[in-house]
Amino acid sequence: MLFNSLSYAIFLPIVFALYWLLPHRHRWWLLLAASYYFYMSWNVRYVALILFTTVISYASAILLERTDAPRQKRLILTAALVSCFGVLFVFKYFNFVSQSISDLCRAVSIPMHPVTLKLMLPVGISFYTFQTLSYVIDVYRGEIRAERHFGVYATFVSFFPQLVAGPIERSKNLLHQIREEHVFDYDQAAYGMKLMTWGFFKKLVVADNLAVYVDRIYNQIHLYQGLSLMVATVFFAFQIYCDFSGYSDIAKGTANLFGVKLMTNFKSPYFSTSIKEFWSRWHISLSTWFRDYVYIPLGGNRVKKSRHYFNLVATFLVSGLWHGANWTFVIWGGIHGVLQVGEQALGLVKKKPEAGERHGLKWWLNVIGVFIIVCLAWVFFRANTLDDAFYLLTHMFYGIGDPYLYAVQACVDMNIWIGRAAVLALYLVILMAYDYASLGRDVIAWVGSRRAAVRYLVYFGLVTFIIFNRSITESAFIYFQF
Residues with catalytic roles: 323
Q: d(Cα 67, Cα 71) in Å, to the nearest integer?
A: 10
Q: d(Cα 16, Cα 30) in Å, to the nearest integer?
A: 10
Q: d(Cα 265, Cα 166) in Å, to the nearest integer?
A: 8
* Residue type present at position 337: G
Compute φ and ψ for 160, nearest 5 degrees: -60, -35
Cβ neighbours around 180 below 10 Å, total: 10
Compute φ and ψ for 409, nearest 5 degrees: -60, -35
For the stretch 29-37, contacts whose Cβ atoms lie closer than 8 Å and that sit 24 or more positions apart, written own/partner, are: 29/151, 31/155, 31/159, 31/160, 31/178, 31/258, 32/151, 32/154, 32/155, 32/158, 34/160, 35/155, 35/158, 35/159, 35/160, 35/163, 36/158, 37/11
Q: d(Cα 3, Cα 250) in Å, to the nearest integer?
A: 8
Residues ≥6 apart with Cβ < 8 Å to 75: none
Q: d(Cα 208, Cα 205) in Å, to the nearest integer?
A: 6
What is the secondary structure of 228-277 as a DSSP string? HHHHHHHHHHHHHHHHHHHHHHHHHHHHHHTT--PPP--S-GGG-SSHHH
In angstroms, what CA-CA distances link 63 with 58, 156, 251?
A: 9, 19, 32
CA 260 to chain centre: 20
Cβ neighbours around 351 below 10 Å, total: 7
Run of H or E residues at 9: helix 6-21
